[in-house]
Structure 1
Amino acid sequence: MVLLESLDLSHNRLSRIIPIELVKLTFLSELNLSYNYLTGEIPQGGQFFTFEASSFSNNSDVCGLPLNEPCCDFDELTKPCLPSPPTTPKVNKTDEEENVDTSDIEENMWWRVAVGLSFAFAFNLVIGVLCLPTTLGSRTLGSELQVASDEWGKAISTMHGLRRLQMSNCMLSGLIPPSLANLTSLHHLQLDGNSFFSSIPARLHNLSNLVSLKLSSCELNGSIPSDLLTLPNLQEVDLSANLDLRGKLSSILPPHSARLNNIVLTTTRVGGAIPDSFANISSLTLLDLSDFFVQGQLPPTIANLTGLVMLDISNNMLRGSIPFFGAKHPLGTFPLAYIDLSYNQLEGNILSMLFGAFGKLRYVHLRQNLLTGAIPSPDMNLTSLTWLDLSYNKLNGTISSLANSKSLVLLDLSNNLLSGKIPASVNQLLFLETLDLRNNLLTDAIPNNISNLS
């Protein structure tokens, strides 16, 4: 079932943890495990980054992203920690409870958080994940309470055993507290969706145990610290959607890394040429530099990234040709499944060289470049391909048989210089939803069997 695209097991009585093996289903686009009795942490990685919280709702003790329910490790059992209070009370409150004055709690909230959790850490009562509550009574942290960065920073910076800090979309503002660098045990730092209007503190380089860093959509500015991506245990970094965040790829990409696998810098002002040393990030599986300021050529050494699954450098200023991936990889062995180099100025007659090395390609978007040559021949191994957009190029020749591309959902070859007939094999594309061949030089009649498309 490695090609499985949809899995719905909702409304059953399934229990125990979600199998980590599901992460290997790299083509999975729809998943519904809701209304069961599942427990434990939701697996992370692969297609699981794309699923909504509704995919896992109404289970027993499921925790972790994309749910707003962080996980804690107690006695080697992973369970939700700091759960939200029930929407309706289970028992009636006594008169004494009804008369409790909560104003002091709200006024001294951050002091109590610091003292209470520091006490817990001191006595080994709190281990692992921490996520501060998003609500207290009827007050929302960071919005109505207008929490200043120095307050939550001071409250947290003394918790030296903290491993996960997740405060996404908490409406925090001000500076990112440099004191976060004191959390040397931190593995996961997720502050995305806030409004810091701040630069990234250079002291974050002290977080040598950091595995995941997510600061997307934080209205960050200034330059990315040159040593940020060199953290020895860093595996995932997402600084996307920060329009005033600057830097040069040659300065911020590490010269080598055996751990870093996800780099997402889309929609920032980072730019420059991709250095040849980029290929020394041997563990890289996902690179997203779209809507960027990338210039120059794709280095030929990119073909050395034998684990690369997703490559998106669309909407940039790339020139030159697409590197030949087949030199070091036998036919069909390169793992790339998603490639988007659209809206650049790439050129060359190299489509066969591009497609020949890939056996798992599912998504190819090369729209609006200067590519020439013929459409990939039918002997190419394109059986997994679902999306092919080569529109607005200078491709010529005929459209060869499509018999080996039966999984296609979209085929867009419009605005090229293609000639000849529409192949009769188009009727074998049973999953095709979009076919666009406009503005070419095609001749002969429309195949009668095209009506067989379902």
Structure 2
Amino acid sequence: MARLSIIVLVIMVLVLRTALSELCNPQDKQALLQIKKDLGNPTTLSSWLPNTDCCKPEWEGVSCDTDTKSYRVNILDLNGLSLTKPYPIPSSVGNLPYLGSLYISRMNNLVGSIPPSIAKLTKLGFIRISHTNVSGQIPNFLSQMKSLITIDFSYNALSGTLPPSLSSLPNLVGISLDGNRISGTIPGSFGSFPKHFTVLTLSRNRLTGNIPTTLAKLGLSFVDLSENMLEGDASVLFGANKNLRKIDLAKNLLAFDLGKISLRSKNLEGLDLRKNRIYGTLPKVLTSLKYLRTLNVSYNNLCGQIPQGGKLQRFSEYCYAHNKCLCGSPLPPCT
């Protein structure tokens, strides 16, 4: 009997020691286990077990804050889970109050709208929900989440219009909403993004109308508005004071004089303007862009000689083809 009592005592001590040494916050663990359950217990999350520490590396996609020693879950990366049937984004995600980064991507069976419970994540800086079948509108509650730095909702089934209120986010650096079903116009309020806002990618949607002149205020580095139905003047996106590195406006209905815009951004690496209604001549300043790696102005209404020098003759004939009267190397000589 005494031996049995000693064994029981040893087991109790070991259990207590394990409980005391666990770094994971109990509320965080409960939320994570509920997320696992709400997603149908996918095999990728088989390491998420009630009797193990969620702050240990074995918990796939979970990271805890070791810098402040709070050990609260601050990163959740749910990428490529094999869901057995369609599931919505678990509302239990909102029960991780210290979450700073939320990545949910590459799940065809993830459906439904973005849950309002995400608005409870007041410390969230980075949110990515991409390559899923999540649908519905871009939620207005995002404008309440003042800590957001980047929003990536690319390649989903989102519809509706762009919320003008997104421009009120004081820390926002970039938005990526490519590959959805978003319609309507680009809000004029988007010109009021903070000074450090540098990335705007809205390609492969159903956007219409003119590009707002207010966007001239932004110091954008990466712009992708390709494969929409935008029309009119896009010259507001260029300028001597810009730090453009890549701009893609391909496959729209844009019409403006390319020869009159300023392309003095020294760091410009990519310029894609193909399949629009752009006219005028190619600016000679293109020859001075030493970092230019990609250029395509085909299928427009450009005229005149292609400026000689720089990297312009390194691009293939295809990059200049199907214009009104563009000529000179690598196209046939001007007559």
TM-score category of the 2 structures, normalised to the smaller one:
0.7 to 0.9
TM-score normalized by structure 2?
0.74
Letter matched to residue 182 of structure 2? V
Match of 1:415 in 2: 322
How many Å separate the matches in 1 of 2:42 and 2:77? 14
How far apart are residue 116 of structure 1 and its match? 7.3
Equivalent in the alignment of 1:120: 23
* 1:292 alignment counterpart: 205
* TM-score with structure 1 setting the length: 0.56
Secondary structure of 2:289's partner?
Answer: coil
Structure 1: gaps of 5 or more residues: 1-114, 135-140, 148-154, 423-434, 445-454
Q: Quote the Cα distance in structure 1 between the aligned partners of 2:260 and 2:279.
A: 11
For the residue of structure 2 that corresponds to 1:314, the secondary structure is coil
2:307 corresponds, among 400, 406, 412, to 400
Instruction: Kindly state the Cα deviation for residue 258 of structure 1 after the two structures are TM-superposed.
Output: 3.0
Structure scoring higher RCO (CA < 8 A, sep ≥ 6) equals: 2
Map 1:34-433; keep pairs closer than 5 Å: 120-122=23-25, 142-143=42-43, 161-172=72-83, 173-194=86-107, 195-243=109-157, 245-249=158-162, 251=163, 253-282=165-194, 283-306=196-219, 308-324=220-236, 331=240, 333-355=241-263, 357-378=264-285, 381-401=288-308, 403-405=309-311, 408=314, 412-418=319-325, 421-422=328-329
Structure-1 separation of matches of 2:316 and 2:120: 47
Percent identical among aligned pairs is 27
Deviation at 1:197, TM superposition (A): 1.4
List runs of 5+ in structure 2 lacking aligned partners: 1-17, 48-58, 63-69
Cα distance change, pair 253–182 in 1 and its aligned pair in 2 (3 A) = same
Q: State the 1:165 CA deviation.
A: 0.9
Shift of 1:121: 3.0
Q: Equivalents in 1 of 2:89, 2:242: separation in Å?
A: 40
Write the distance in 1 (CA, Å) between the matches of 2:98 and 2:44: 31
Give 1:298's aligned amino acid.
I
CA pair 279-368 structure 1, distance change in 2 beyond 3 A = same
Q: CA deviation at 1:413?
A: 0.8
1:388-416 CA distances to partner (integer Å, 9 max, x unpaired)? 10000011122222x23369555611001
Contact 2:215/2:236 (<8 A) preserved: no
Query: What is the CA–CA distance in structure 1 between the aligned matches of 2:155 and 2:286, rounded to whole Å?
Result: 41
User: CA offsets per residue over residues 317-365 of structure 1, 9 Å max, x none?
Assistant: 1011113456xx6x4x41111000000000021343142x422211000
Secondary structure in structure 2 of the residue aligned to 1:269: coil
Task: Say which SS state the counterpart of residue 255 (structure 1) adopts.
Answer: helix
For residues 372 and 348 of structure 1, what CA distance do their matches in structure 2 show?
6
Contact 1:352/1:377 (8 A) holds in 2: no
Question: Is the alpha carbon distance of 1:185 and 1:378 closer, same or farther for their aligned partners in structure 2, counting shifts above 3 Å?
Answer: closer
Pairwise CA distance, 1:119: 5.4
Higher helix share: 2
Q: Secondary structure at the match of 2:292?
A: coil
Contact 1:418–1:442 under 8 Å retained in 2: no
SS in 2 for 1:303: helix
Q: Distance in 1 between matches of 2:286 and 2:222?
A: 24
Q: 1:171 to 1:399 in 2, by over 3 A?
A: same
- 1:221, distance to aligned residue in structure 2 (A): 1.5
